[in-house]
Structure 1
Amino acid sequence: MSDNRPIGVFDSGVGGLMFVKEIKRLLPNESIIYFGDTKNLPYGDKSNEDITKFSVSITQFLKNNNCKAILIACNSATASALKEIKKIAGKDIIVIDVISPVAEKISFELREKIGVIATKTTVKSGAYKKAIRKRNKHINVIELATPLLVPVIEEGFVNTPISKVVLETYLYNKKLEGIDSLILGCTHYTHLEREINQLFNKKVNIVNSPLIVVNHIIYMLSKNGKLASKDAKSEYLFYISYTTDSIVKTTKRLFGKDIQLIEKSLED
């Protein structure tokens, strides 16, 4: 049994592209429709009501485009709107978030003190702490809001003196002293993984969220008989709500210069 309909993925900007890249690597026969809500980024400083409104609109768009599964490649949207997204998606569409699979995996590893850096919305919700401690009450989870990191990434300042100063300011916070693992609780932050590793001198385990989440996607698609057939030809469509230099540059760097981005308003 197979299903060649596309997988839908959405985020507020370039962060979710790292998950698309991992899906492409591990599931080369799967087609993907990506929606980057660049007009409303970052989601992390928006109200729960606004995040829910944006997320529901994108979910409806992906549903209308016949997606068999939807990956919420945004921690803030997961923390604020998961229930509403599942309601709009309906029973036929598999909905996968980026928090639950990570919490499930890390909870049963030998960890004592886990740090989480994320947006204000995600930290305020306590989503990671709740999800991890629900599975393992013995793990100490420290969450720290790092709101400047998304603008740094979206403005193209990765691997620059600017990103270094901002990262040092956050990561040298006393709250994170003694952590053995760090969860990058915003999908954008995967673009900073190399710099974060360097600041910790590779002594802290940086959790690879894209790999964990995409393995969960494989499991869910296989379980429900929705994997694409082995002879399926994959197609990739990239939609954005507003054209920015950052998302154009990042998309073409990750997926090739021939990739086209289609501007699509959520109000249409």
Structure 2
Amino acid sequence: MKKYPIGIFDSGIGGLTIANAIKSVLPNENIIYYGDTEHLPYGEKSKEAIQSFSKRIIRFLLTKRCKIIVIACNSASSVADESVTNIACNTSIFNVIDPIIAEVSKISTKDNIGVIGTKATISSGIYEEKLKKLCRNRKIKSLATPLLAPMIEEGFINEEISNTIIANYLSSTQLKNINHLILACTHYPLIQQEIKKYYRNNVNVIDSANIVANYIAKKLEEDNLLNNEKLSEYNFYVSNYTDSFEKSARFFFEEVIKLEQVNIFS
């Protein structure tokens, strides 16, 4: 079991931020990543569609004997109910929301917390619900930022057009007077520096990728599933091949990677 891979999936390149963070924290682990590039972005899809896609991907990752599976997508994590997670039987499935909630719960209740994410994530109200379960008086300000994930997928990062779009969202009155900002989309760490630059470091931009990676490392250690052999392998699958995905995968994983198109939906 220890040598079995960690399964990770997302609709596109966003989950690579989680995969990269896991690789950094757990360099001995084998990783299998599935990018559902045919259906990206998930943030614009219905709850039922996202659940259907997630179930198929989880079943695929189970055939690869993954020891755990990480839903590296906030949109999928926000709607991944028992019908999704129960199909894995004895394999633990982790979302990317609970580790963030656990970390944010340590923040003073006097501080205002902002949340930006896809329409699916923000409309689900999952962050407000989970945070207010821990503290009813917690002040949370959420804003859907639907253009950011497609912008990142297309490679518009650190350019005039991307900075304009980012500034347009962050200047919204809905995010006024926040002290902390949760990047509730795994794509957003790719524009984290631009977001910090906008706020001139006056707002704490929460590093979700590293929080999730450390959470996964802790869980593997608790379950005695850490791989001690230093022969890690990285395999990537996509439902539809794109140049942008391959470039992003090679950017994060400088090691030799294996990329294969496998459409599990046809």
Place the TM-score, normalised by the shorter chain, in its bin. Answer: over 0.9
- Is 1:70 the counterpart of 2:69 in the alignment? yes
Tell me the SS of whatever aligns to 2:38.
Answer: helix
Residue 236 of structure 2 corresponds to which residue in structure 1?
238
Report what 2:175 is aligned to: 176
The CA distance in 2 between the partners of 1:265 and 1:222, in whole Å, is 33
Amino acid paired to 1:42: P
SS at 2:56's partner residue? helix
Contact 1:108 1:136 in 2 (8 A): no
> Unpaired segments of 5 or more residues in structure 2?
none
1:25-58: CA deviation from partner (whole Å, max 9, x where unpaired): 1101110000000000000000111101100000
Aligned positions of 1:115-130 closer than 5 A: 115-130=114-129
Aligned match of 1:165: 164
Distance in 1, matches of 2:184 and 2:220, equals: 24
Q: Secondary structure, in 3 states, of the residue corresponding to 1:40? A: coil
Checking the alignment, whether the CA contact within 8 Å between 1:70 and 1:93 is kept in structure 2 is yes
CA contact (8 A) 1:55 1:77 kept: yes
- How many residues are treated as equivalent by the alignment? 265
- Superposed CA deviations along residues 154-201 of structure 1, whole A, max 9, x for unmatched, are 111011111111101100001111100000001011111000000000
Map residues 10-29 of structure 1 onto 2, 5 A cutoff.
10-29=9-28
1:1-268, aligned counterparts within 5 Å? 3-90=2-89, 92-111=90-109, 112-228=111-227, 230-256=228-254, 258-267=256-265
User: Residue type of the partner of 1:4?
Assistant: K
Q: Secondary structure at the match of 2:257?
A: coil
Deviations along 1:66-123, one digit per CA (max 9) or x if unpaired, are: 0010000001101112422211111x21111100110111112225110000000111
Q: CA deviation at 1:253?
A: 1.2
Letter in 2 for 1:134: K
Distance of 2:84 and 2:204 partners within structure 1: 31
TM-score under structure 1 length normalisation: 0.96
What's the TM-score, normalizing by structure 2? Answer: 0.96
- The 8 Å contact of residues 33 and 237 in structure 1, kept in 2 or not, is answered as yes
Percent identity between the two aligned chains: 42
In 1: Cα distance, 2:74 partner to 2:231 partner = 30
More moved, 182-191 vs 2-11 = 2-11
Letter in 2 for 1:10: F
- Tell me the amino acid that sits aligned with residue 209 of structure 2: P
Give the superposition deviation at 1:244.
Answer: 1.4
Question: Does structure 2 retain, via aligned residues, the 8 Å contact 1:4–1:232?
Answer: no
Give how far 1:211 is off.
Answer: 1.1
Distance 1:152 1:235, change over 3 A: same
Shift of residue 257 of structure 1?
7.1
